[in-house]
Structure 1
Amino acid sequence: MNAPAPAAPEPPGLTFLAELSVTVGEPIDVGQTPEGHRRVIPITGGTVSGPALNGRVVPGGADYQIARYDTLTELDARYVLETPDGHRIYVHNSALRHGNAEDIARLNRGEPVDAASIYFRCWPRLTTAAPEWEWLNARLAVGTGVRHPDHVLIRIFLID
């Protein structure tokens, strides 16, 4: 006699942390390398707003991109957030952006593209030395992204 199949495990929940509007500068095109087409996108600033985290994006970070092929780009962004009371949080945000070749080319030229046609998901790691924010060091997060011509909108969710 066959035993009943076990119930599917409950997935972890998500809690909204914050929305980041990250302003970006002109891309620096490195060109086709053995790993793929490389670009560096300067991070020039931005804002952070949410129920648990608010502040600004400190200018000086960058997004190091590799277009693996014309429909898939790997993103590796590194930058700093600053809370209103001056505490700093380091962000290392890895992401995948996928869409049809025409839409990805339009994004790369800085043209607007309907966000619904692009798969843009990320897994940001937030770390800090600030005692008030130390709990972030022990949390994992995921997020969604939308690329606009002059900024990137990132919504970060903590995994419960």
Structure 2
Amino acid sequence: MTLPVPTLTPAFDVEVALGPLEDHLGTSAGHRRVVPILGGRVSGEVDAEVLPGGADWQLVRPDGTIEIDSRYSARTASGDLLLLHARGLRTGPHEVLARLGRGEDVDPTLYSFRTTVTVETSAPALAHLQRSLFLASAQRLASAVHYRAYRVG
């Protein structure tokens, strides 16, 4: 049996503005950090404003790899709401991760920052987004994250 090879088709870009990192240090789950999402923009197959109030709940592994778990809402110009959920990993050489930790802008080809993205919505016109899995390639900037989401086909 031959299984289909997944394809990637560009779907949308997301830029989120980030608030100051909240370092919860060692919790029962591990080294927990929370990064507030202050706003931003979704553009492409769907255009929407990222609403303040979301966050990225991170776990920092002993090797410096960060487990990403971010959730935030966005609203289209017509008032439709979306809930985006991105889960993945940011990892790379220790010195590159240290630069990112200091808030430096680092060439995204020097580290790996990948997430899966799912979308929830009650808007019939956007329901197709809920029937797709998206894989994103991301870049961490000093006070923002930018990613491009690709539909997995």
TM bucket normalised to smaller: over 0.9
* Larger CA Rg, structure 1 vs 2: 1
Asked if 1:157 is matched to 2:150, the reply is yes
Percent of residue pairs identical: 37
Match of 1:81 in 2: 74
- In 2, the alpha carbon distance for the partners of 1:33 and 1:157 equals 34
SS at structure 2 position matched to 1:116: helix
1:106 alignment partner, one of 75, 99, 108? 99
1:41 aligned partner: 35
CA deviations over 1:53-103 (Å, ceiling 9, x no partner):
112111110000011123311010000121121111101110100111222
Please report how far the alpha carbon of residue 34 of structure 1 lies from its aligned counterpart in structure 2 after TM superposition. Answer: 4.1
Q: Distance in 1 between matches of 2:98 and 2:33?
A: 13
The residue that corresponds to 1:90 in the other structure is: 83
Equivalent residue for 1:69, pick from 62, 72, 75: 62
TM superposition score normalised by structure 1: 0.89
Q: Which runs of 5+ in 1 are unaligned?
A: 1-5
Match of 2:90, as an amino acid? R
1:27 corresponding residue in structure 2? 21
| Secondary structure of the structure 2 residue equivalent to 1:62 | strand
Residue aligning to 1:136: 129
Compute the TM-score of the two structures, normalised by the length of structure 2: 0.93
Which AA in structure 2 matches 1:69?
P
Question: Which amino acid in the other structure matches residue 100 of structure 2?
Answer: L
1:114 Cα deviation from its structure 2 partner: 2.0
Instruction: Count the aligned residue pairs.
Output: 153
What 5-or-longer segments of structure 2 have no aligned partner? none
Structure 1 residue aligned with 2:6: 12
2: CA distance between counterparts of 1:125 and 1:16? 15
3-state SS of 1:59 partner: coil
